[in-house]
Amino acid sequence: MSTELAALAARLDGAQQDAAAIEQLSAGGALDLSDAYAVQHALLTRRISRGERAVGLKLGFTSRAKAVQMGVDDIILGSLTDGMRISDGGAFDPASAIHPRIEPEVAYLLDPEDPTRVTAVAPALEIIDSRYRDFRFDLSDVVADNTSACAFVIGEWRDPAEVGPLGNRAVLLEIDGRLVQTGSTAAILGDPARAPQAALRLASAQGFPAHAGGILLAGAATAAVEVPAQGVVEATITGLGRVSVRIERSIR
Q: Which residues here bind ligand OOG, judged by CB under 6 A?
A: 58, 60-61, 66, 70, 103, 126, 128, 130, 142, 147-148, 219-220
Contact status, residue 145 vs residue 133, Cβ threshold 8 Å: no
Residue 108: name its binding partner from Mg ion, ligand OOG, none (Cβ under 5 to 8 Å by kind). Answer: none
Residue (126 or 234) nearer to Mg ion, CB: 126
Residue 139: name its binding partner from ligand OOG, Mg ion, none (Cβ under 5 to 8 Å by kind). Answer: none
Residue (67 or 232) nearer to Mg ion, CB: 67
Contact status, residue 141 vs residue 243, Cβ threshold 8 Å: no
Shortest Cβ 3–ligand OOG spacing (Å): 27
Shortest Cβ 123–ligand OOG spacing (Å): 14
Residue (66 or 169) nearer to ligand OOG, CB: 66
Shortest Cβ 162–ligand OOG spacing (Å): 25
Residue 37: name its binding partner from ligand OOG, Mg ion, none (Cβ under 5 to 8 Å by kind). Answer: none
Shortest Cβ 61–ligand OOG spacing (Å): 5
Supply the DSSP string of 123-170, one letter for each residue. Answer: EEEEEE--SBGGG---HHHHHHTGGGEEEEEE---B-HHHH---TT-E
Q: Which helix (H) or strand (E) holds 48?
A: helix 33-49
Residues in the chain: 252
DSSP 8-state code for residue 29: S
The site map against Mg ion for 196-225 (x = CB under 5 A) is ------------------------x-----
Contact status, residue 151 vs residue 92, Cβ threshold 8 Å: yes
* 173 beta partners: 181, 235
Residue 41: name its binding partner from Mg ion, ligand OOG, none (Cβ under 5 to 8 Å by kind). Answer: none
Residue (71 or 164) nearer to ligand OOG, CB: 71
Residue (191 or 248) nearer to ligand OOG, CB: 191
Contact status, residue 185 vs residue 164, Cβ threshold 8 Å: no
Contact status, residue 218 vs residue 63, Cβ threshold 8 Å: no
126 contributes a contact to Mg ion by CB under 5 A: yes
Cβ partners under 8 Å of residue 53, min gap 6: 81, 82
Residue (130 or 181) nearer to ligand OOG, CB: 130
Nearest residue to ligand OOG, using CB?
60
* Residue 162: exposure state from Cβ atoms within 10 A (0-12, 13-18, ≥19): exposed
DSSP 8-state code for residue 72: -
Which residues bind to Mg ion, rule: CB under 5 A?
126, 220
